[in-house]
Amino acid sequence: MKLIGKLVIGIIAGILIGLMNIGVVTQFFVTVKNIFGQFIGFVIPFIILFFITAGVSKLGSKSGKIVGATVGTAYLSTLLAGIFAFFIAVTVIPFLNATESPVSEGSGVEGFFALEIDPLMGVITALVMAFLFGIGIAKTNSKTLMNIFEEGKNIIDLVIAKVIIPFLPVYIAGIFVELASEGAVFDTLQVFGTVLLVAVIAHWLWITLQYVTAGVITKRNPFVLIKNMLPAYFTGLGTMSSAATIPVTLKQTKKNNVREEVANFGVPLCATIHLSGSVITIVACAVAVMSVLGDYTVPSFGQMLPVIAMLGVIMIAAPGVPGGAIMAALGVLTTMLGFSEAAIGLMIALYMAQDSFGTAANVTGDGAINLIINRFAKKDGDSSVSSSDVA
């Protein structure tokens, strides 16, 4: 059974258990939720440290305007996508809550015991260390350190794929057990169902804006360009992985007349650093979570802009597994927005419910980035890149 199906079962089971409110069973799920939440918090700094270090160490060793142009365009797209999603969310969500009172993060249900698993470092510390070592490795070309961080990345990737992702349905069940036992679950689901629809519509609108921009720059029909990228979109829906979709994205990008040397370089790189669809979902869902949980107030644009900017950086650390982007983003949500375990659990549930659509938006947007870079490369006369430029 696919992960999304298991998550749905977890949500339904959690609601039923919470509504029945059988003391020992309810406490068991809340205990499991609390312990697993602590474990996720422990792993987050390692995700940031190993994935960003590994990515920057390879990226920093490259040279040429084409690399900077690709990275800069991808980051700008991700940043603007987050801003776009924020304004849509703050426009729509107040209407959803017009007749609802905020749901409090009550503490009426407690686990059997509390287990503290303190992270070895803070998220910001991990981020600074990642760039310090990543740039240092790129400059010194230290094979030993590069291998250490690559192997560390592989271990954390394995933890995510074999421990965190498979256990998520139980964790989400614990979140909804707690919500249901406190009488908050149906109001929460009503708001979140609409927010997921808003996020998917925002994906489509952003894809259209990306290709209109690319069409203006390349002087081509944007809707023909989008049509050519549809196989990549639907492959992303099925795989829920930008990395796994690279072969199709590459083929369709070349079909849009992007030169082979540009596409061979740009598509794999964008699959790693350009996650505009994921950021749209994270921002929209974060606003929704903060609106329904009574302990939060929806931030202003000035407060949210640094969060969006940091998410664009953190996305470099997104593992290439379903749900990898939200795992990497949890550090930002906890440190900059003060998300609790309950808020994190809701974010994970929301994100995973639409992960396939976010991935599809990511890979389709990669085609637009490469169209722009192809135009830049032609104008600048830079044809020095090849597929070997990306590890």
Segment 172-231, tens digit of pLDDT? 888 778 777 766 566 667 777 788 888 999 999 999 999 999 999 999 999 999 999 999
- Please give the mean pLDDT across all residues of the chain: 81
Burial class (CB in 10 A: 0-12, 13-18, 19+), 144: exposed
The one-letter amino acid at 163: V
Cα pseudo-dihedral 285, 286, 287, 290, rounded to 10: 120
SS3 (DSSP) at 76? helix
| Contact indicator for 319, 160 with CB cutoff of 8 Å | yes
* In the chain, where the domains are located: 3-389
List, in order, residues 6 or more apart from 166 with CB less than 8 Å away: none
| Contact indicator for 88, 279 with CB cutoff of 8 Å | no
Among 328, 320, 312, residue whose Cα is nearest residue 44: 328
What whole-number distance in Å separates Cα of residue 80 and Cα of residue 213? 13
pLDDT mean over 377-387: 51
Segment 164-174, tens digit of pLDDT? 878 888 888 88
pLDDT mean over 271-277: 86
Task: Output Rg (C-alpha) for the chain, integer angstroms.
Answer: 21
Buried b (16+ CB within 10 A) or exposed e, 223-259: eebbebbebbbebbbebbbbebbbebbbebbbbbebb
CATH topology of domain 3-389: Proton glutamate symport protein (1.10.3860)
Residue 256 has pLDDT above 80, yes or no: yes
Segment 309-338, tens digit of pLDDT? 999 888 776 766 667 788 888 888 888 888
Q: How many helices (H) and strands (E) does the chain have?
A: 15, 0
pLDDT of residue 81: 95
Cα pseudo-dihedral 230, 232, 238, 241, rounded to 10: -150
pTM, whole model, 2 decimals? 0.77
Segment 100-129, tens digit of pLDDT? 444 444 445 666 666 777 888 877 788 788
Residues making up the chain, counted from first to last: 391
Q: Residue 309's CB: how many other CB atoms inside 10 A?
A: 16
What whole-number distance in Å separates Cα of residue 44 and Cα of residue 101? 32
Residue 260 has pLDDT above 50, yes or no: yes
Segment 224-253, tens digit of pLDDT? 999 999 999 988 887 677 777 888 898 999
SS3 (DSSP) at 103? strand
Segment 40-62, tens digit of pLDDT? 888 888 887 887 788 777 765 55
